[in-house]
């Protein structure tokens, strides 16, 4: 793979770069990488530039962020994939979370996925109707091998638009006997209290349909 990096950050955004994505880009470029190489793949309708940025244009009519995450993954080169939000900063040592995936904690786990908490809050549980005693897989960090071999080549199920794909990821990991793990050592910090909920009805419907399909024998992640 040409110009291959160790880590790929994927950052979907459709808002004013000065207030959102550019702040995240600057934050990522200030982190401690301990010699690892990285790229920041920004996906959205408004061009964004900066050190280590790979900009991928997305049509203004695009709906939600899930497609942007998957398209960003498709052009990524990293062995590790870190999903970003355009209104959250990373902890200074966040790149070290990739080492967790190579630790004893994951020795016997097929799914090399670890999650990051937000604002020093504890994990968020999956909805009661899932009948899962597990957590939502928020802000996941994957190995490329896991995505390619076990997640059908998608970071998020493409039927979702914006919310609930991390619920489905958490549900899927639980059903595989490997419930999602959050590492509270590397916290995500919100710098803008904004949340787009216009797709919630659609996305929850998709989530419930996927759960029903699973209970009827479907074993595919996407």
Q: What is the mean pLDDT of residues 72-97?
A: 96
Exposure string over 48-82, b if 16+ CB within 10 A, otherwise e: bebeebbbbebeeebebbbbbbbbbbeebbbbbbb
Tens-digit pLDDT profile for residues 18-72: 999 999 999 999 999 999 999 999 999 999 999 999 999 998 777 889 999 999 9
Q: Binning pLDDT at 50, 70 and 90, where does residue 15 land?
A: very high
Q: What is the pLDDT of residue 198?
A: 87
Kindly state the percentage of the chain with pLDDT values over 90.
Answer: 87
Residues 7-215, CATH architecture: Alpha-Beta Complex (3.90)
Assessment of whether the complete model's pTM goes beyond 0.75: yes
Place of tokens 């799914």: 111
DSSP track, 131-175: T--SB---SEEEEHHHHHHHSTT-SS-TT--SSSHHHHHHHHHHH
Q: What is the pLDDT of residue 13?
A: 95
Collapsing DSSP states into helix, strand and coil, what is residue 121?
coil
Q: What is the pLDDT of residue 120?
A: 72
Q: What is the pLDDT of residue 1?
A: 60
Tens-digit pLDDT profile for residues 132-146: 999 999 999 999 999
Tens-digit pLDDT profile for residues 165-214: 999 999 999 999 999 999 988 989 999 877 778 899 999 999 999 999 99
Tens-digit pLDDT profile for residues 164-173: 999 999 999 9
Q: Where are the domains of the chain?
A: 7-215
């Amino acid at each position: 793979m040409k110009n291959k990096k160790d880590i790929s950050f994927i950052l979907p955004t459709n808002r004013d770069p000065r207030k959102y994505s550019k702040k995240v880009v600057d934050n990522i470029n200030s982190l401690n990488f301990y010699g690892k190489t990285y790229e920041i793949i920004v996906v959205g309708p408004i061009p964004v530039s900066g050190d280590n940025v790979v900009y991928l244009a997305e049509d203004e009519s695009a709906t939600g962020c899930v497609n942007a995450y998957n398209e960003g993954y498709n052009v990524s080169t990293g062995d590790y994939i870190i999903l970003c939000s355009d209104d959250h900063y990373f902890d200074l040592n966040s790149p070290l979370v990739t080492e967790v995936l190579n630790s004893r904690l994951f020795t016997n786990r097929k799914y090399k996925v670890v999650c990051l908490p937000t604002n020093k809050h504890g994990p968020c549980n999956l909805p009661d109707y899932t009948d899962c005693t597990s957590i939502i897989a928020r802000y996941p960090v994957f190995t490329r091998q896991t995505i390619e071999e076990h997640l059908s080549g998608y970071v998020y199920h493409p039927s979702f638009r914006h919310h609930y794909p991390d619920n489905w990821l958490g549900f899927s990991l639980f059903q595989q006997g490997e419930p999602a793990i959050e590492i509270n050592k590397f916290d995500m910090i919100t710098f803008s209290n904004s949340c787009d909920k216009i797709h919630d009805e659609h996305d929850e419907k998709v989530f419930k349909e996927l759960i029903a399909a699973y209970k009827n024998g479907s074993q595919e992640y996407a």
